[in-house]
Structure formats: C-alpha cells, structure tokens
Amino acid sequence: MGKRIGIVCGSFHRDEVEQMLAFATDEAEQHGLTIGDVVWVPGSMEVPLALDRLLANHDSAACLGIIEKGETQHGLAMGQAVIKTILELQLKHDKPIGLGIIGPGAKPKHIEPRLEPHARAAIGAVLDA
C-alpha cells in the first residue's frame, strides 16, 4: 500500500498511550503503511487541531488517547465534541482518520484491556476506508 499515516497521541495517559502507539505502529507496518509524524498533544481536546495539520501532508491519520469517566459529564461532552470534529475533518480533507480513543466514560478497569484492540482498530479503519 505504501501510504503515509500521521498519528496524534494524547499525553494525559502517556504510559498507556505509548503502548497504544506501539500496537498501532506494528499494525501499520504489517499492512505496509509508513508512520509519518507522531504528534503528542495534552489531551483529547487538542486532537482535532493536530489532525487538521497532519492531514495536510499525510494520506491518512489516526488518533490515540483515553477519556476517563469523571465525576461530571465533562468527559462525555468533550468526547462528543472531539469525535464530531474528527468526522468533519475526514470530510474536509477527504482522507480517513482512525479513531483510537478509549472512552469517553472509561473506568480504570476498562483501559488496559482496550489498549491493543483500540490501537489496532484505528489503523484498521484507515485501511478499510
């Protein structure tokens, strides 16, 4: 395939997202994708801007991160806004974006078992698009 993919990673859960990045990189390499730029952002709210910039010089992109369940609905509202904007960016750039954000509403017990499947699925979504 030989396509170049950019990846945006949320650093709020850095250790876990580094694991996700390793799984995503492995999945991309297995399918002949080249990992271009990897951009770390503070959290999910900063993902759309980084994706918008990456898509200017990549064939596709993926985003990796975690939105935990908090005591309020903040994470849910944020997650919905981020996902809506990611969908809009796909249409704007006419390029696929793989969503590898665990949550919103993830509890600590949900995170570890989802690291690998969400990371690999984000790459798979780009391949299938």
Residues annotated as part of the active site? 74
User: 82, 45 in Cβ contact below 8 A?
Assistant: yes
- Separation between Cα atoms, residue 109 and residue 96, nearest integer Å: 30
3-state helix, strand and coil shares in percent for the chain, rounded to the nearest 5? 55, 25, 20
Phi, psi of 43 (to 5 degrees): -165, -175
